Structure 1
Amino acid sequence: HFKTRLSTLNLTPLLSRRSLRYRENENDDLSRSDSDPQIRLSPATAMVPTHRSLSLLSLVPLLLLLSPALASESDHKYQPDESVTLWVNKVGPYNNPQETYNYYSLPFCHASGNPAHKWGGLGEVLGGNELIDSQIEIKFQKNVEKVVICRLDLDEGKVKQFKDAIENSYWFEFFMDDLPLWGFVGELHPDKNSDSNKHVLYTHKSISVQYNKNQIIHASLTPENPKPLEVGKTLDMTYSVKWEPTNVAFARRFDVYLDYPFFEHQIHWFSIFNSFMMVIFLTGLVSMILMRTLRNDYAKYAREDDDLETLERDVSEESGWKLVHGDVFRPPRNLVLLSAVVGTGAQLALLVLLVILLAIVGMLYVGRGAIVTTFILCYAFTSFISGYVSGGMYSRHGGKSWIKSMILTASLFPFMCFGIGFILNTIAIFYGSLAAIPFGTMVVVFVIWAFISFPLALLGTVVGRNWSGAPNNPCRVKTIPRPIPEKKWYLTPSVVSMMGGLLPFGSIFIEMYFVFTSFWNYKVYYVYGFMLLVFLILIIVTVCVTIVGTYFLLNAENYHWQWTSFFSAASTAVYVYLYSIYYYHVKTKMSGFFQTSFYFGYTLMFCLGLGILCGAVGYLGSNLFVRRIYRNIKCD
C-alpha cells in the first residue's frame, strides 16, 4: 500500500490530482486550526532577506520593460554534465494553500555554505515565493545513485516540529529549470502496538528528470525511505537523480500540469451554451418588451392634436417615464463618488479584457506570478481610461470639486486593496509566512502607482473634462424637483438593486467554480477562451438587466436611476461573495485563522473589483438607454 502511494505521487504532477486526495480524507480528523507556533518564523524573519527588498527597487525599470511571461532560467539549454540548480521554495499545510513558510522554517538540514537566492519578479514575490539554492549537486544527463546530502540529528524540538507538520499534511515545493516539483514531508503510519499513528519522515528524495536533446522537459520528485521520528536518532537525508530521454517538445512541457478532464468537462461546455442561450433570450425579451412599449409611448406622446378634449384626456392618462423628463438628468447624489467608481469600473472592464487576451496569446499561466505582474502593470497603464470616463461624467453634471474628483478616481480602488492587503500582511508577518509582502515590494508597487497610474489618471481626467465634458442632455432639468409617488415594494430602488444581480451571477456561476478551484485547490487555470466568452456574456447580461430595472424605476416615476443602475449591476458581487462562503464550507477543508483571513480577504478584494466593474457597465448601459428614449420625445 505504501509503495502504491509513492508511485502515485511520482506519476502525478499536481498535488491536487485525484490520486493524492487520500491525504485530505486520511488526515481530516488530524487537521488543526493553525500550525504550531514553533514551526513559524518570527515576525522579524518574515521580512528577511532585506536585500531582496532592496534589489526589487533597482528592478523597477526592468519590470516595466520585460515581458512577465518570459522564463527566468536563461535559455533553458544545457550541455552534458552542466550543473542544474534545484531550488527549494516553501512548505505549508496541504489544506491551506496560502499558509506557506520558508522551506527551512522546518529543521531540515542542508549542505554547508551560504546558499544563493533567486530573486523573482513582482508577481512572484507577491505570490509568496522565495527560491533558495538547495546546494544539491545535479549534472545534466548524469544519473546519481543514493547520495547523502546531510545528517539530521533529532532532538525534542525538531521532532515536535516535524510531527506537527506531518499531522497537518505539510507539503513542499521545489523548482528545477522553472518546473515545479512537489512532495509531502512525511505521513502517519498505523502503529500495531498502540491505537495512535506513528509519524514517519521521508528521508530520501528520488528525482526523475526527462530531457529532449539539451533541454529539460519534465521533472518529478518522489519522497521515499520513511523513518520514524525518535528523539536522539540521526537520519541520513539522501537524494538520487535519474535522467530519461523523451520526445516531448519543449513548447509542450507545461501540458502535464494542465488538468484537461477537469476544465474541459462537458459541464463546462454546457454552462457556456446555457449562458449563451440566456443572453439570446434576455436580449430578445428586452428588445421586444421595451421597443413595443416605447413605440406606443412615442406615438402617443409625439402626436399633435388640436382637439382640446383629446389633448386633456391624453395628459390625464399620461404616466410613467415621460412625466419625469424634467428630473431624469438631475445630477445624482454624491456625484464625485459615482464618477470615480464609474471611471474605475470602466478601467477594470478594459483591464480584464486586456489581461484575458494577453493570457490567451502569451500563455501567462506558465510563469510564476506572470498573471499578477501583468495585471499590475496593465492597471497602471490603463489608468488614463478611469480618469477620462470620470472626468467627462463629472463635467457633464456640472461638478466643481475637480481636485477631489481626480484624487478619488486615481486612488479609490488601489487604496481599498491596500487596506485589505495591509490587514492580511500584518497577519502574515505575525505568523512568519512567506505570504508577507516585503517592504521593498510594497515600495515598488507604490512607485508604479505614484509615477505611472496616478499621473495617467490625472491626465485622463483633464482630457475627459475638455473633450467629453460638455452637457448634452436631451431634456432641460427643472428647477423644482418633482415629488416621487409611493409605489409597490418591488419597485423600490433597494429591491431593484438586489434583484438586478441574480441573472448576471447566474451567467458566471459555473465559471466561478472553476476559477475558485484553480486559485484555492492547486490547479492551473488555462482555459482563458472560456473566460473571455463568460466575460462578454456577463457584460451583455448586466447591461440588459440594468436597462430593464432602470425602465421599471422610471415608469414608477422615480428619477433616481443613476445609483440604482450602478448598485443593480454591482449586486452581482454580493452573490459571488455569498457563493464563496458556500464554497469555503462545502468544497474546501481550510482551517485556522490565517487561511480563513486570506480566503475571505482575497475574495473581498476580488468582489470589490467585480462589483465596481459590473456597476460601471450597468450605469453606462443605462445612461445610453435613458438618453436614447428621451431624445425622441417633446421635453418642453
Structure 2
Amino acid sequence: MRRSRRSYLALVTLLAVADASFEDDAEIQVSMNKAWPYSNPTETYEYYDFPFCKPKIVMPHFMTLGQVLRGDRLVNSLYPMHMKRQVPRTVICSRRMTEADIRMLKEAIDQNYMFELFVGELPIDRPFGVVSTMGNEKDEQVTDRYFLVNYLDFIIGYNEKEVVSANVTRELNLEHLVDITEWKEGMVIQFSYSVQWTPLPHIIPSQALELQLKSTMPHGHQNMDIHWLAIINSFVLMLLILSLFLLIIIRVVRSDLSRYLQIPDEELNAVEEETGWKLLHADVFRAPKHRLFFCSAIGAGAQMTSMMIMVVLVGCIGAYYQRGAVASAAVISYMVTALLGGFVSANLYQKLGGEKWAWNIFMTALCFMGPAFLIWSFLNTVAIFYGSTAAFPFPTILLMFAMWACVTFPLTVLGGIIGRHRSLKQAQAEGSPFPCKTNKLAREIPSCRWYQSPVTQFFASGFLPFSAIYIELHYIFNSVWGPRIYFLYGILLLAFTMLLLVAGTVTVLFTYFHLNAEDHRWWWRSFGSGVAVSAFFYLYCIYFFLQTGMNGFLQCSFFFLYSLLAAHGIALMLGCVSFYCSYFFVIYIYSRIKAQPPALLRLLAASLESRRVPAQA
C-alpha cells in the first residue's frame, strides 16, 4: 500500500492545549487519523491511502510530538459537525470504485483493518467492515460475503458548552453496510453520516477523555479485580524473598564483622589468619577492565532510572490519557536527566583513575542513543518502504536531532564536568575515595563453588527480580502493542519499587558470595545482574509475541527490535541500581575493617610491645 506523498507542514510541539468549549452551532473539528490491521498495531497507514472519499485539499491538523511518534496523522474530513445541531442521514459523497479498489477493501476487511477518527479531542475507532459466511457446509457451498461500513451514525454527548463523549453506533445492520463481494462495471458506493446530540450533565469535562477511553475496555471491573489480586500475591512473595535475603546478609556480615573487630586484647594470640572477603582489602577496589565503557554504562543507567521514575510519578499524579503523552513525557524526561547521567559517569570514572574523561562523557551520551539511532534508522527505512505512518516525517526527524544536539548532549557534558570536578575536590580533601589501598599486583583468584559461579548468579539475579514484574508486563504489553490505554501507574510504581529492591538485594548477596570466595571481580558482575533481568524480559517478549496474531515483516521487525531496545534500557537501568547497591555494601564492610589494623599486624604489634616492657624494666 502506497502512501500519498505530501509534506507535513503542521506545527509539532511537545504539549498541546486545545479549547474544548463551543458555542451553539459552532463548528467541531472532525479529524481522520490512521488505519491498521487489528493484529498488527504498528503497521499503520493513512486513512486516505484507502479508496474512501476525501476532501479536495487534504490538510494536516495540529499534532503533539507524542502523536507523531506513535504514527498519528490527523487530517481534515468530509464530516461537517456543529455544536448541538442534529443531522439526519446525509450522503457526503459518492465514489466510483475500480476493481483494484474493491480488491484492496476486501483484503483490508479480511485482515480486520480498523480506522481511527477524532471528534474534537475524543478518539473513535471502527472496523472497515465485516465478513459473513453464507451457505451450507454440508453441501460444500460456502461463500464469504464482504460488507463495507459506509454509514457512520455519530452519537455526541455534551455538557453545556463542552463535548464530553463521542461514539459511533457499533450495532452493524444492513443500513450501515454495503455489499462489496463482487465488483461490477461502474460500481458506485455512497458514504453517509448522521449526528445525534445527547445532554450528559453527569460527565465532568475534565474526565471526558478518561471515560471515553475506559468505555472501550470491556469487563474493566473484572480485569481490575484480577489485576489487584495478582499484584498483591506478587508483592507478598517479593516481601518474603526480600526479607529472607536481607536476613542472610545482615546475620552473616554482622557475624563476620563481630568476630573480626570485637576481639579482646587477651585473645589476640588466638586470632587465626584472615580468610574470605577480608583478604581482598588490597584488591577489592581495583579498577575494572574497560572502565571507560563501564562508567559510561553506569551513567546511562542512572539517566534511564531517573527518567523512568519521573515518567511513573507523573503518571501517578495524572494518567497519560492524551494519545502520545507517554512518549512526550519520556522524551522530555530523558533530555532533563542527561545532567545526572553525565555527573554519575564522570564522577565514578575520575574515582577509578580514568584519564580520557572527554571520551567518557561522549560514550555516556551515546550509550543508549547510539543503539536507539541504529534501530530507529533501520525501522524507519522499513516503514518508508511499506508506506506506513510509522515512518517519522522529515520535520520530526530534524526536531529530534536538534533536541539531542542542543539539549541532551550539552547537559551530559555539563553534568560530566560537574561530576569530575566534584570528584577532584573530594580527592583533595579526603585523599583516596576508597577505604582501602590497592596493590599493584592483582591477587590470584581461586576456583569457586557452583553457587558462586557467574552462571548461578545470572539465573538467580535475573529470574527473581523479573518475577516481581512479569504480571504487570502483561498489561503494559497489551497497551503498547494493543488498543488499550495503560492508566494504573500507582501499581506500576509499586512493581517498579519491588523490582529495584529485589534486584539490589540479590546482587548484594551474590557480591558477598564472590568476595568470600576471594574473587575481587565484582564490578562487572554486579552490573551483569541488570543484563540478566533484561534477558528474561526479552524471553517474555518472545512468549508474548507467540500468543498474539502479529505477522508480516514490518510488524515483526518493529516488535523484536523495539523490544531489544527496551531490553537494552532495562539492562542499563537495573545494572546501575545493582552496581550501586553492591558498591555501597562493599564500601561499608571494608570501611569497618579499616578502623582496625589487620589481625597479623595487631599480633606483631602485641609481640613487639611484650618485648619492650622487660627492657624498660
Q: Same fold (TM over 0.5)?
A: yes
Aligned to 1:380: 335
CA contact (8 A) 2:35 2:113 kept: yes
- How far is 1:51 from its partner? 3.9
Give a deviation string over 1:403-456, Cα, whole Å, max 9, x none.
110100112111211111111111111110010111221111111111111111
| Distance of 2:242 and 2:66 partners within structure 1 | 39
Residue among 157, 174, 184 paired with 1:231: 184
Q: Where does 1:244-393 land on structure 2 (aligned, <5 Å)?
A: 244-247=198-201, 248-253=203-208, 254-258=210-214, 259=217, 261=220, 265-302=224-261, 303=263, 310-311=270-271, 314-315=272-273, 318-364=274-320, 366-393=321-348
Does 395-404 or 347-356 show the bigger shift?
A: 347-356
| Distance of 2:234 and 2:176 partners within structure 1 | 51
Residue among 104, 120, 124 paired with 1:181: 124
CA contact (8 A) 2:54 2:77 kept: yes
- How far is 1:373 from its partner? 0.9
Aligned to 1:531: 492
Secondary structure of the residue aligned to 1:217 is strand
CA contact (8 A) 1:497 1:569 kept: no
CA contact (8 A) 1:115 1:132 kept: yes
**Structure 1 runs (4+) greater than 4 angstroms displaced:** 304-309
Residue among 455, 479, 483 paired with 1:518: 479
Q: Which runs of 5+ in 2 are unaligned?
A: 599-617
Task: Give the TM-score of the pair, scaled to structure 1.
Answer: 0.87
Residue among 564, 579, 587 paired with 1:619: 579
- How far is 1:611 from its partner? 1.3
CA contact (8 A) 1:383 1:457 kept: yes
Aligned to 2:607: none
CA contact (8 A) 1:119 1:130 kept: no
Secondary structure of the residue aligned to 1:468 is helix
Aligned to 2:156: 209
Secondary structure of the residue aligned to 1:386 is helix
Residue among 43, 48, 56 paired with 1:99: 43
Q: Where does 1:420-431 land on structure 2 (aligned, <5 Å)?
A: 420-431=375-386
Counterpart amino acid of residue 613 in structure 1: M
Does 406-415 or 492-501 show the bigger shift?
A: 492-501
1:196 aligns with 2:150: no
Give a deviation string over 1:585-629, Cα, whole Å, max 9, x none.
12x111111111111122112111111101100000100000001
| Distance of 2:233 and 2:333 partners within structure 1 | 32
CA contact (8 A) 1:208 1:221 kept: yes
Secondary structure of the residue aligned to 1:281 is helix
Change (3 A) 1:411 1:602: same
| Distance of 2:284 and 2:399 partners within structure 1 | 45
Q: Percent identity?
A: 34
Aligned to 1:158: 101
- How far is 1:189 from its partner? 1.6
| Distance of 1:440 and 1:226 partners within structure 2 | 39
CA contact (8 A) 1:159 1:231 kept: no
Aligned to 1:630: 590
| Distance of 2:290 and 2:551 partners within structure 1 | 41
Residue among 168, 183, 194 paired with 1:221: 168
Give a deviation string over 1:285-323, Cα, whole Å, max 9, x none.
233222222222223323365778624xx11xx421111
Does 278-287 or 114-123 show the bigger shift?
A: 278-287
Change (3 A) 1:350 1:77: same
Change (3 A) 1:545 1:82: same
| Distance of 2:196 and 2:362 partners within structure 1 | 59
Counterpart amino acid of residue 318 in structure 2: G
Counterpart amino acid of residue 296 in structure 1: S
| Distance of 2:243 and 2:550 partners within structure 1 | 43
1:408 aligns with 2:363: yes
CA contact (8 A) 1:494 1:564 kept: no
Q: Where does 1:442-453 land on structure 2 (aligned, <5 Å)?
A: 442-453=397-408
| Distance of 2:253 and 2:386 partners within structure 1 | 61
| Distance of 2:76 and 2:377 partners within structure 1 | 30
Does 494-503 or 142-151 show the bigger shift?
A: 494-503
Aligned to 1:121: 64
Aligned to 2:561: 601
Counterpart amino acid of residue 623 in structure 1: Y
CA contact (8 A) 1:97 1:520 kept: yes
Aligned to 1:50: 7
Q: Where does 1:487-498 land on structure 2 (aligned, <5 Å)?
A: 487-498=448-459
Change (3 A) 1:179 1:535: same
Counterpart amino acid of residue 422 in structure 2: W
CA contact (8 A) 1:263 1:527 kept: no
| Distance of 1:477 and 1:635 partners within structure 2 | 16
Residue among 440, 462, 479 paired with 1:479: 440
Secondary structure of the residue aligned to 1:200 is strand
Counterpart amino acid of residue 148 in structure 2: L
Q: Which runs of 5+ in 1 are unaligned?
A: 1-39
Change (3 A) 1:109 1:550: same
Change (3 A) 1:307 1:78: closer
Secondary structure of the residue aligned to 2:467 is helix
- Would you say how many aligned residue pairs link Structure 1 and Structure 2? 573
Larger RCO (CA under 8 A, 6+ residues apart): 1
CA contact (8 A) 2:166 2:212 kept: no
Q: Which protein has the larger Cα radius of gyration, Structure 1 or Structure 2?
A: 2
Counterpart amino acid of residue 539 in structure 2: L
Secondary structure of the residue aligned to 1:172 is strand
Task: Give the TM-score of the pair, scaled to structure 2.
Answer: 0.89
Change (3 A) 1:186 1:267: closer
Counterpart amino acid of residue 460 in structure 1: G
- How far is 1:584 from its partner? 1.1
1:133 aligns with 2:76: yes
Q: Where does 1:136-147 land on structure 2 (aligned, <5 Å)?
A: 136-147=79-90
Q: Where does 1:539-578 land on structure 2 (aligned, <5 Å)?
A: 539-578=500-539
Does 195-204 or 541-550 show the bigger shift?
A: 195-204
| Distance of 2:305 and 2:503 partners within structure 1 | 12
Aligned to 1:460: 415
CA contact (8 A) 1:489 1:495 kept: yes
| Distance of 1:123 and 1:252 partners within structure 2 | 21
Secondary structure of the residue aligned to 2:198 is strand
| Distance of 1:292 and 1:156 partners within structure 2 | 78
CA contact (8 A) 2:37 2:43 kept: yes
CA contact (8 A) 1:491 1:556 kept: yes
CA contact (8 A) 1:385 1:457 kept: yes
| Distance of 1:238 and 1:479 partners within structure 2 | 83
| Distance of 1:555 and 1:622 partners within structure 2 | 14
- How far is 1:170 from its partner? 0.8
Counterpart amino acid of residue 383 in structure 1: A
Does 192-201 or 426-435 show the bigger shift?
A: 192-201
CA contact (8 A) 1:88 1:174 kept: yes
Aligned to 1:5: none
Aligned to 2:550: 590
CA contact (8 A) 1:174 1:180 kept: yes
| Distance of 1:156 and 1:434 partners within structure 2 | 25
Change (3 A) 1:238 1:489: same
Counterpart amino acid of residue 7 in structure 2: T
Counterpart amino acid of residue 628 in structure 1: Y
Q: CA RMSD in A?
A: 1.9
Secondary structure of the residue aligned to 1:322 is helix
| Distance of 2:524 and 2:264 partners within structure 1 | 35
Secondary structure of the residue aligned to 2:355 is coil
